[in-house]
Copies of this chain bind each other. A is one copy, B any other.
């Protein structure tokens, strides 16, 4: 099956019937109707629908090199700057639809699996079979429009045992045995975003050390979500309600995160990309340009989210008539400066792109790693600015039912804005509230702050890969003599 539409996405999820837990209960019946998922699923479905619509098709698909079918453009391995631009246009169309609020819109994992597929030859020398598995899996995802999730964080105690350089943690994820059918794996992985509403999951944790010849903690693989022994345990849902008028964001964009528990899950051999060799595992994640390609997508998302922020900021300014206040204009200009910087980093990453050793056109890593350092620092400030401009308007938020009740006239009379009726004004502030102040906003904040690691990790990634630093230091040396 080439590109799928929303209905096919929904049907496949319900047919899969994965083992999912929410709030102490196993999800029975169609997951796509469950209150914690239905809004999100409808949004994702609308994204898949776009691919096939006349308005978007040519900008969102390309012809598969193997099947000749139309496949999703975010699977495209870029070979030119034009390809990068096509990818960006496609991703921005989706991002505009979900305002950058979905971290796991399909293009993210499509891009990830494209990056791994394009770099599969890294695995060839020592593990030709794994290289083959990787390439085939990329093709399989592309040709079947697989909705993929991933998990790559170890539980805290396992991480700690790594840090302590001990191997005593009995609960660290590991390959328990190797059978004819595949690797038998047990353990847990943190934070599969949209894990419960995906077809498959990519498991790709950092390796713990081991003294064994075949490190049982070093592995990467992808499996269907409904394999026996695989459980998805969801965090608390942050859907505040189904009403789009009252909860314009959480009713549609609440991506659930899940703990993935594997209990003697049998991973088929052809789904294994790395096993037993921690050096290869590290090398593959570092040298496959995964972070670079992924950030090209991530930045499209961050821009769309920042545009929503600016749209809300400007709407508040108009509604409350704040243009005369210099402290307000300074804050709006701060949002604009952030937005322009993000857009510029994206454009620069393409303008300065270079082909890598496999002929893939690689966006400029420095621009993108800088964006990885920048966004976690500015996102809380963007939320702060919305709070500072929204002020008491973010507290006094009645809802749609209030307006429809007998006190509606009071609200209409006393909560109106400058040339804005009260109901529209309240809806604007409810949107601003969900965006900046609510539990939904809090999770968005956390998500962005730690997307590719904490500040130390993203700083180190930028610093280490920043080759110009030596050139510039050399130039300084020239000034000293």
User: Shortest distance in angstroms between A386's beta carbon and chain B's nearest beta carbon?
Assistant: 11
Does A472 touch B at the CB level, under 8 Å? yes
Q: A259 contacts B396, CB within 8 Å?
A: yes
Identify A472's interface contact among B261, B314, B407, B428, CB under 8 A: B314
Q: Which residue of B lies closest to A478 (CB)?
A: B311
For chain A, residues 423 to 481, give those with C-beta under 8 angstroms from any C-beta of chain B.
424, 427-428, 431, 433, 436-439, 441-443, 445-447, 449-450, 454-456, 458-460, 462-463, 466, 468-470, 472-477, 479-480
Does A223 touch B at the CB level, under 8 Å? no
Does A63 touch B at the CB level, under 8 Å? no
Does A415 touch B at the CB level, under 8 Å? yes
Residues of B within 8 A of A336 (CB): 366, 370, 373, 462-463, 466, 469
Residues of B within 8 A of A330 (CB): 327, 455-456, 459
Does A211 touch B at the CB level, under 8 Å? no
Complexed CA–CA distance, A191 and B391 (Å): 12
Residues of B within 8 A of A443 (CB): 395, 437
Complexed CA–CA distance, A474 and B311 (Å): 8
Residues of B within 8 A of A472 (CB): 307-308, 310-311, 314
Complexed CA–CA distance, A36 and B477 (Å): 26
Chain A interface SS verdict (over half): helix
Q: Which listed segment binds B: A9-17, A42-50, A202-210, A347-355?
A: A347-355
Complexed CA–CA distance, A395 and B320 (Å): 35
For chain A, residues 138 to 158, give those with C-beta under 8 angstroms from any C-beta of chain B.
153, 155-157
Does A214 touch B at the CB level, under 8 Å? no
Q: Which residue of B lies closest to A372 (CB)?
A: B337
Complexed CA–CA distance, A30 and B4 (Å): 54
Complexed CA–CA distance, A344 and B345 (Å): 5
What is the interface of chain A, defined by CB distance below 8 A to chain B?
Answer: 21, 23-25, 153, 155-157, 160, 171, 187-188, 190-191, 231, 233-236, 240, 248, 257, 259, 261, 307-308, 310-312, 314-315, 318, 320-321, 326-327, 329-330, 332-334, 336-337, 339-341, 343-345, 347-349, 351-352, 366-367, 370, 373-374, 380, 384, 387-388, 391-405, 407, 410-411, 413-418, 424, 427-428, 431, 433, 436-439, 441-443, 445-447, 449-450, 454-456, 458-460, 462-463, 466, 468-470, 472-477, 479-480
Identify A455's interface contact among B23, B327, B341, B442, CB under 8 A: B327
Give the residue among A160, A312, A397, A472 with the most B Cβ atoms within 10 A: A472
Q: A415 contacts B155, CB within 8 Å?
A: yes
Q: B455 contacts A188, CB within 8 Å?
A: no
Complexed CA–CA distance, A433 and B257 (Å): 15
Q: B456 contacts A24, CB within 8 Å?
A: no
User: How many copies of this kind of chain does the complex include?
Assistant: 4
Q: B348 contacts A344, CB within 8 Å?
A: yes
- Contacts A171-B414, A336-B370, A402-B23; A456 near B157 (Cβ below 8 A): no
Identify A442's interface contact among B240, B391, B441, CB under 8 A: B441
User: Shortest distance in angstroms between A296's beta carbon and chain B's nearest beta carbon?
Assistant: 13
Q: Which residue of B lies closest to A157 (CB)?
A: B416
Q: A367 contacts B387, CB within 8 Å?
A: no
Q: A476 contacts B312, CB within 8 Å?
A: yes
Complexed CA–CA distance, A431 and B441 (Å): 17
Q: A233 contacts B333, CB within 8 Å?
A: no
Residues of B within 8 A of A460 (CB): 326, 329, 333
Q: A391 contacts B454, CB within 8 Å?
A: yes
Identify A351's interface contact among B347, B394, B395, B479, CB under 8 A: B347
User: Shortest distance in angstroms between A313's beta carbon and chain B's nearest beta carbon?
Assistant: 8
- Contacts A171-B414, A341-B345, A370-B341; A407 near B21 (Cβ below 8 A): yes
Q: B155 contacts A414, CB within 8 Å?
A: yes
The 6 closest A-B pairs by CB, nearest first: A24-B401, A437-B442, A311-B472, A333-B459, A340-B370, A344-B348
Residues of B within 8 A of A341 (CB): 341, 344-345, 370, 374
